[in-house]
A and B are shown apart, each in its own frame.
Chain A
Amino acid sequence: MITLNINKKNYKLDADPNTPLLWVLRDNIGLVGTKYGCGVAQCGACVVHLDGEAVRSCVTKISRAQGKKVVTIEGLSASNNHPLQKAWLELDVSQCGYCQAGQIMSAAVLLRENKSPTSQDIDDAMAGNICRCGTYLRIKEAIQLAAKESSSDK
Chain B
Amino acid sequence: MEKTSTNNSRRTFLKSSLLAGGGLMIHFSGLAKFALPSGSAETHLIQLTEINGYVKISADNMITLICPNPEFGQNVMTSLPMMVAEELDVDWKKVIVEMGPHDSVKLGGQFTGGSNSVRSYWRPLRMAGATARNMLMQAASQTWAVPIEEITSKAGILYHEKSGRKGTYGEFATKASAIPVPKDVKLKAVKDFNVIRTSQKNVEGTKIISGKPLFGLDYKHEGMLIAMIHHPPAFGMKLKSFDASAALKMPGIKNVFSLKLYEDGFEQAGFDVRSFNDLLVVVGKTTWEVMNARKKLLVEWMPAGDVIDTMGGRGGKRDVIVPGALENTTAQLQKMREFAKKPAQQLRKDGDPETAFKNAAQIIERTYDAPFLAHNCMEPMNFFAHVTDEKALLVGPLQAPGLAEPTLSKILNLPADKIEIQMTRMGGGFGRRAYTHYATEAALISKKVKAPVKLIYSREDDTTYGIYRPMYTATYRAALDSNKNLIAFHVKGGGIPEHAIHANRFPAGAVDNYLAEGWAIPSNITIGAFRAPRSNFNAAAEQSFLDELAEAMGKDPIDFRLELLKRAKENPVGKNNEYDADRYAGVLKLVREKSGWTGAGDKKFSRGVAAYFCHNSYAAHVVDMTMRDGEPYVERVFSAVDCGIVINPDAASNMVQGAVIDGIGNSLYGGLTHKNGVVEENNFHKYRIIRMHEAPKTVDVSFVQNDIDPTGLGEPPFPPVFGAVANALYKVHGRRFYQQPFLLSKPDGPSV
Q: A residues near B, CB below 8 A? A: 16, 19-20, 23-24, 26-28, 30-40, 42-43, 45, 72-74, 79-80, 85, 88-89, 92-101, 104, 119, 122-124, 126-127, 129-140
The answer to whether B378 and A45 have CB atoms under 8 Å apart is: yes
B697 touches A119 (CB 8 A): yes
What residues of chain A lie closer than 8 Å to B678, measured between beta carbons?
A: none
Known: A32-B218, A35-B378, A98-B428. 6 other contacts (CB 8 A): A33-B212, A37-B379, A40-B685, A122-B692, A127-B691, A136-B692
Do A98 and B379 have beta carbons less than 8 Å apart?
Answer: yes
Q: How far is the CA of A97 from the CA of B695 in the complex (A)?
A: 18
From B125-133, B365-373, B606-614, B647-655, the one touching the partner chain is B647-655
Contacts of A123 in B (CB 8 A): 692-693
Query: Is there an interface contact between B655 and A94, defined as CB atoms closer than 8 Å?
Result: no
CA distance A95 to B79 in the complex (A): 13
Q: Contacts A27-B226, A32-B213, A89-B209 given: A134-B665 contact, CB under 8 Å?
A: yes
Q: Are A100 and B377 in contact (CB under 8 A)?
A: no
Given contacts A92-B201, A96-B72, A129-B692, contact A134 B660 (CB under 8 A): yes
Contact A23 B288 (CB under 8 A): yes
CB neighbours (8 Å) of A99 from chain B are 378, 427
**Residue B215, interface by CB 8 Å:** yes
User: Given contacts A95-B73, A95-B75, is CB(A36)–CB(B217) below 8 Å?
Assistant: yes
Which of A39, A40, A97: most chain B Cβ within 10 A?
A97
Interface: B251 (CB within 8 A): yes
**Contact of B425 with A38 in the complex, beta carbons under 8 Å:** no
The answer on a CB contact under 8 Å between B209 and A42 is no
**Could you say which of A36, A96, A101, A126 contacts B211, with CB atoms under 8 Å apart?**
A101
Q: Which of B199, B650, B689, B696 contacts A130 (CB 8 A)?
A: B689
C-beta contact mask, B436-458 vs A, less than 8 Å → 1, else 0?
00000000000000000000001
Question: B458 contacts which chain A residues (CB < 8 A)?
Answer: 39
Task: Please encode chain B, from 682 to 712, with 1 for each CB lying within 8 Å of some chain A CB and 0 for all others.
Answer: 0111000111110111110000000000000
Give Cα A36 to B661, complex, Å. Answer: 23
A127-B430 Cα distance, complex, nearest whole Å? 23
A–B Cβ pairs within 8 angstroms, 26 of them: A20-B288, A26-B287, A32-B217, A32-B220, A33-B212, A43-B378, A79-B38, A88-B209, A92-B199, A92-B202, A92-B654, A94-B202, A95-B73, A96-B379, A97-B202, A98-B427, A127-B693, A129-B691, A130-B378, A131-B692, A134-B658, A134-B662, A134-B690, A136-B691, A136-B692, A137-B661
* A61–B202 alpha-carbon span in the complex (Å): 35
The reply to whether the CB of B205 lies closer than 8 angstroms to some CB of chain A is yes
Interface string of B191-224 (1 = CB under 8 A from A): 0000000010110111011111111011010000
Residues A88 and B205 in contact, CB atoms below 8 Å apart: yes
- Please name all residues of chain B whose beta carbon is closer than 8 Å to the beta carbon of A85 when the two chains form the complex: 209-210
In the complex, the chain B residue whose C-beta lies closest to that of A95 is: B73
**A37–B459 contact, CB under 8 A?**
yes
Q: Check A89 against B205 for contact (C-beta < 8 Å).
A: yes
Residue of B209, B380, B659, B665 with most partner-chain A CB within 10 A: B209
User: Which residues, 56 to 115 on B, are CB-close (under 8 Å) to A?
Assistant: 71-75
Given A36-B217, A39-B458, A133-B73, check contact A92 B692 (CB 8 Å).
Answer: no
